[in-house]
Structure 1
Amino acid sequence: MNRRTLLQALAASSLPGLLAAGEHLPQNLTFINPGKFDRIVDRALREDWQRLPIGERMTRAALAMEGTPYVGFTLEIHDRIESPSVNFDGQDCWTFFEIALGLARMLARKQARYMPADLLRQIETTRYRGGVCNGGYLDRIHYLDEWFRDNQKRGHLKNITASLGRTMPLEGRRIDEMTVLWKSYRYLKNNPGLRQGMAEIEAELQKHPFYFLPKEAVQAAEPRLQNGDIIGIVTRKPHVYCSHVGLAVRTADGVCRFMHASQTHKRVLVDKSVSAYLADFKSHAGIVVARPLE
C-alpha cells in the first residue's frame, strides 16, 4: 500500500491522525514560530474553543493572528521540494485563511498536547489535491476555484455562493497565471520541467464553469454570511479568477467585515464590511464563498 492509499484509508477510518503529515522538509523550514502556535493553542484550551462550531473556531484563530505582517509568496519555501508549511511570522492571503482553518480543524480533536505536526497534517489535508503531499510542487492546489471544488468533494466545506443571490458566469477569461508569471514562483523558476504540468492543470481548470456573486449584490447578501466563511475575491484582471481571499468576521457592531492578510495595510487585519471592501477596488468583480464543515 503506497502512502496516498494509506492516508486515504486512514481518512475514511475512525482512527484519524495516526499518520504524521507528509513532511518532506525539516520543521525549521516548514514551521516558523512554534512559540506563537503554543500560545494560540494554550488560549484555545483555556477558552474551550473545541465546544464552538468550526466557523467560530476559525474566527478565534484568525483574530489570534491579527497584526501578523503581510509577507508575499509564503508558500514558496524551497527551490525543489514541496512540503506542508506554516508561518506565524508572516502570511499572505492564502496562508492566513488556511492556517485559521487548519487550527480550527486540529482543535476539533481533543488531545492532551498539540504539536506542530498536528497542524501540518491539517494543512496537508486541505492544501494538496486529494489531501496528500508527495513532495512535488504540482501536488499543491494553486487556484482557489479548484481548492473549493477539491475540498468540497472531500466534505471539508460547501460552496454557498449560489445561495447568497443571483450568480453570474465568468466568461472569456483564461486561468493561466502560474505559467504566464512563472518567474514570480520559486519552484517554477528553478524547475522548468514543471511548467508543462502546470499548463496541463490550468487547461483542465478551464473546463469547469465558474459562477460568482457580483459586487452589487454583496451588500444584500451580507446578513447571510457567517463567521469563518471563506471569501474569494473575483477579479476583472486577466489570467486568474480570484485575486484575493479572506474570511467573514462579524464584529460587535453587527457588521460583517472582511478579515485578510492585506498587502495594502501590510498586516492581517479586520477590514471594512465585505461590500465596502469590494467597492474600494474597480478591479473587484464580486465574490465566491465557501462555508467550512465539521
Structure 2
Amino acid sequence: MMNRRHFLHLGLLSGSSTLLRAAEFLPQNVTFIGVAKFQQVVARAVAENWAALPMGARVAQFGQALRGTKYVAWTLEIDDRIESPSANFNGLDCWTFFEIALGLARMIAKRQRDYSTSDLLRQIEWTRYRGGVCHGHYLDRIHYLDEWFTDNVARGTIRNVTRQAGPVVRLTGRGNDEMSLNPKLYRYLRANPALVPAMRQIESRLEQVPFDFIPKQHVATCEPRLQSGDIIGIVTNRPHVFCSHVGLALRTGDGACRFMHASATYKKVVVDKTIHEYLDAIKSHAGIIVGRPREV
C-alpha cells in the first residue's frame, strides 16, 4: 500500500480559479533533499521581495540563487515502483534546475507568511506531470522536453515563443524513442520492464506532434528577443530524441544573453557563454526552442 498524503489548495492559473491537488506518494525524507538550502533561498527571496519581480526575472533570480549547486544526474529516479513529486537542492541536473527555479518563482508569487517544502512540491507536480497530476505512476511523469512544452503551454504555465523569437524549421525524419530503446538506463523501467511498451506508445504519439525550432545559425540574431527566465531547450542532431539539454536565458549587465544551466561539463550550475556561442561549441547542437514562463 502506498504511503500517500494529499494536499489541497486553491490557486490561480491562467487567470481562472483552479483546484490544485498535490499528492506525495513517498515520505519527504526520500522526495525532498536539501531542506536547509531551500529555506535559505526562500528566506532571501522573501527578504528581497522577489515576488514583486516580473515572472521571467523572478525565474532567473532563483536560477542565479542556485548557481554553484553540484550537477547530479538521475535525481528523479528515487524508487523502483512509486512515482512522487520530488526536489533535490543538493544536486541538480539540467531538467531539475530549470524546473525548480520555475517552481520557486510560481510558489513565491502567492504571498503568505511562510513557505513549506510541500508548497514547492505542489508546483513541481503541476509542471512535471501530464495534466499537472501525479497518480503515483512512473508514466504520469513527462519525460521528454518537447512534450513538457506542449503540455505546459496547454495549461497556461508557459508560452511557446519560439516562432516569435526567430525563424523556425520543422524537424522531420527522426524518432523520439530514446527511453524505450534504452530501458536499462532508467531505474523504474529497469525494475518494471512491463512499462516499456506503454512508454513506446507515448513516444509514438509524441513523434506525430509537429516540432519546430530555431536553427543555431539564426540564434545570434534572435538573442535580442529573448528575455531573462526564458526556458531554452537545446535541440540535438543526435538520433532518437528531439532535445538533449535545457536551461534558462539570462540577460547580463553587458547586454549579452547567456545560457544558465546545470552543466555536466562544469559539474555544477553555471552562467555559461552566450546562447549562440554555447550552441556553436558543440557540433551535435542543432538549435533551440523557447518557452516563456507565464505569471501565476
What is the TM-score when the length of structure 1 is the normalising length?
0.95
* TM-aligned CA deviation for residue 11 of structure 1: 6.6
CA–CA separation in structure 2 for the residues paired with 1:78 and 1:153: 29
Aligned to 1:270: 271
Percent identity between matched residues is: 60
Counterpart check, 1:214 vs 2:209: no
Aligned to 1:103: 104
Aligned to 1:260: 261
CA–CA separation in structure 2 for the residues paired with 1:9 and 1:179: 37
Distance change >3 Å, CA 286–CA 15, structure 1 → 2: closer
Aligned to 2:4: none
CA–CA separation in structure 1 for the residues paired with 2:8 and 2:32: 22
Counterpart check, 1:51 vs 2:52: yes
The letter of the residue matching 2:84 is: S
Counterpart check, 1:140 vs 2:116: no
Q: What pairs up with 1:156-167 in 2 under 5 angstroms?
A: 156-167=157-168
CA–CA separation in structure 1 for the residues paired with 2:171 and 2:154: 22
Structure with greater proportional strand content: 2
Q: What pairs up with 1:81-96 in 2 under 5 angstroms?
A: 81-96=82-97
Write out per-residue CA displacement over residues 130-186 of structure 1, whole angstroms, 9 at most, x where no aligned residue.
Answer: 000000000000001110010000011110001122100111100001101111100
CA–CA separation in structure 2 for the residues paired with 1:214 and 1:40: 36
Q: Secondary structure at the match of 2:81?
A: coil
Counterpart check, 1:60 vs 2:61: yes
Q: RMSD across aligned C-alpha pairs, in angstroms?
A: 1.8
* TM-aligned CA deviation for residue 248 of structure 1: 0.1
CA–CA separation in structure 1 for the residues paired with 2:38 and 2:51: 16
Q: What pairs up with 1:1-294 in 2 under 5 angstroms?
A: 14=17, 19=21, 21-294=22-295
The letter of the residue matching 1:235 is: T
Aligned to 1:3: none
Write out per-residue CA displacement over residues 47-93 of structure 1, whole angstroms, 9 at most, x where no aligned residue.
Answer: 00111111111111111100001101111111110000000000100
What is the TM-score when the length of structure 2 is the normalising length?
0.94
The letter of the residue matching 1:190 is: A
CA–CA separation in structure 2 for the residues paired with 1:285 and 1:182: 25
* TM-aligned CA deviation for residue 14 of structure 1: 3.6
Q: Secondary structure at the match of 1:122?
A: helix
Structure 1's consecutive aligned runs of 4 or more residues displaced over 4 angstroms after TM superposition are: 6-13
Mind listing any 5+ residue stretches in structure 1 that lack a counterpart?
Answer: 1-5
Q: How many residues align?
A: 288
The letter of the residue matching 2:47 is: R
The letter of the residue matching 1:174 is: G
